[in-house]
Amino acid sequence: MPIYNAPLDDIRFVLHEVLNAEKLSKLPGYEEATRDLIDPVLEEGAKICQDVLFPINQSGDQEGCTFKDGEVATPKGFKEAYQTFIEGGWTGLSADPEYGGMGMPALMNTVMQEMICAANFSFGMYPGLSQGCYEAIHSFGTDEQKALYCPKLIDGTWSGTMNLTEPHCGTDLGLIKTKADDNDDGSYKITGTKIFISAGEQDLTENIVHLVLARLPDAPEGVKGISLFVVPKYLANEDGSLGERNSGAVCGAIEHKMGIHANSTCVMNYDDAIGWLVGEPHKGLRAMFAMMNAARLGVAMQGLGIAEVAYQNGVAYAKDRLQMRSLTGTKFEDKPADPIIVHPDVRKMLLTGKAFTEGARALAYWGAMALDGSNKEPDTDKRQEADDLLALLTPIMKGYFTDMGSVVANLSVQVHGGHGYIAEYGVEQYVRDARIAEIYEGTNGIQALDLVGRKLAQGYGRLLRRFFHPVQKFIETEGENMDMAPYVMPLAKAFMKLQQSTATIAQKGLKNPDEAGAASTDYMRQFALVAMGYMWAQMVKVALDKIESGDGEQSKEFYEEKLQTANFFFTKMLPEADFRFKSLMSGAEPLMAMKAEAF
């Protein structure tokens, strides 16, 4: 049977000793977000993830969702778990108090997303999508729409979805055909088919609020002609109570999928369904991207969460499984064989998971603090800086974290050997679940194109400076510290090559866009590795300081293990950045020279 224990010691280390998360309490609206509140909330969050969500993860995968006559039933235990979840207020953790939310920092929600996704990936998608729906309506809805929908989405009695994809278009939303006709009473008739709609139908909530992209009759072609509509499963009465069924909004089928079996992936058919415009006509993509950006951060945490639980199970198995003796001689004389954790290759697989999850956790939480700054920072310049950093990091984290979620899940299966390939040990589920995160909310190839095509040039390199400047300052400050040299020097070399890559892509991409496209994935990976190196170097500095002073919150062994894991990252993982540099510098010609007919 699989295991999961929320990594609270490491979470607290990153929050308090590395990032000083308590400084968020100085932002307006976050005054209560001190450590005295942060730690108990996260401890309770860990309990619900471990004790309520994790026990139904494997059974939920095996049972899956069922579909009959337009209705979906979630697996056994999901309704009860969801009720416990919303009773704890977890759906409103960082939502606006004006509508019933707790008003906690987005950082807190990010930490919870990691634990939820590690404990039960499929379950986490239900409240996760509701959060995105809430964000869009809260940002772009009318006062009446916010008053109607936000409290219900926050308390979890209603859920939300996002409806973008159609059978003939996914990434290219300019091709959507779903139409919206004015009813001359403030509402619209929505007609069209949407596919791959996560949580489009389920039995957890009393209502489902669909956000649907559609075209008005006078819409211009392409993405400039897309509008956003809110289309609830049940219409609301004037007092906000549930009214009649919105008969034109129906689930036509659910998909039979590789993974995330306990989350319903639906075909949604809209046939003169009643909906209302959210935001301005033809400006729907802007509103939807408020939801998409929140979703992309959430998907990044899915990658981290799945890597964490896969890593934990790999470690548990490696310590228990007896096979052969150590290459350097018997280590456990009282056993018929040594546990496989003595073998170098097994350790390399496990350390890859450990170094990734701990580095990614620090990077994700830093990004979440930027999100809080972009929302709450009263100083205009600081708010812009935070928003810029978040915009830059979002595609990097979504792309790299989900790629590595699959890598670490596969490594866990490999550690388990044949037992990993069968269902009993549970790790094969992590491989299947992890795979979708590299695809939805914009494939990782699209994330890479977003990075090189939009983020690099935005503000004449302004976004890049939000990352480059603090990294350069850190390298200069710590460069003469001999204890930091094994970490700062490789970071400095990798950072220099990242700057060179950036200049090359900018120069070549202007002349030939294929050059930027060909370099994009390598560049995203290179950037991610340098960002991880920056976070690891900061963690090393804290660990060294705590070991020297002896006043750390964790044990001396904890900090020493940090240094050992950092050594693995800088010597065994960061060198991939050099390979990525060499690959992208080779240009587009090796990719584009061959005629399509030759494939």
Catalytic residue list: 441
Nearest to 149 by CA among 239, 85, 209, 212: 209
Count of Cβ atoms closer than 10 Å to residue 264 Cβ = 28
| Alpha-carbon radius of gyration of the chain | 24
Find the length of the chain: 599
CB of 137 closer than 8 Å to CB of 275: no
Alpha-carbon dihedral 477, 478, 479, 484, rounded to 10 degrees: 180
The whole-angstrom separation of Cα 305 and Cα 561 is 21
Sorted by sequence, the CB contacts under 8 Å of residue 218 that are 6+ apart come out as: none
**End-to-end CA separation in angstroms for the chain:** 44
The whole-angstrom separation of Cα 559 and Cα 565 is 10
Alpha-carbon dihedral 444, 449, 452, 455, rounded to 10 degrees: -80
Question: DSSP class of residue 237?
Answer: P
CB of 212 closer than 8 Å to CB of 249: no
Q: Which two tokens stand for residue 331?
A: 């280590």
Q: Which two tokens stand for residue 38?
A: 């942060």
Show the 3-state SS of 19-40. CCHHHHHHCCCCCCCCHHHHHH
Show the 3-state SS of 50-82. HHHHHHHHHHHHHHCCEEECCEEECCCCHHHHH
Residues β-bridged to residue 67: 72
User: Going by DSSP bridges, is the β-strand pair 227-232/207-214 parallel, antiparallel, or unpaired?
Assistant: antiparallel
Sign of the dihedral defined by the CA atoms of residues 265, 270, 275, 278, in that order: positive
The whole-angstrom separation of Cα 55 and Cα 351 is 27
DSSP string, 187-210: -EEEEEEEEEEETSS-SSSSEEEE
What is the phi/psi pair of residue 242, to 5°? -70, 135
Q: Which two tokens stand for residue 19?
A: 């990032």
Which element (helix H / strand E) includes 218?
none
What is the phi/psi pair of residue 197, to 5°? -90, 105
CB of 448 closer than 8 Å to CB of 399: yes
CB of 27 closer than 8 Å to CB of 374: no
Q: Does residue 170 sit in helix, strand or coil?
A: coil
Count of Cβ atoms closer than 10 Å to residue 122 Cβ = 27
Question: DSSP class of residue 275?
Answer: E
Question: DSSP class of residue 34?
Answer: S
User: Going by DSSP bridges, is the β-strand pair 158-163/207-214 parallel, antiparallel, or unpaired?
Assistant: parallel
The whole-angstrom separation of Cα 136 and Cα 211 is 9
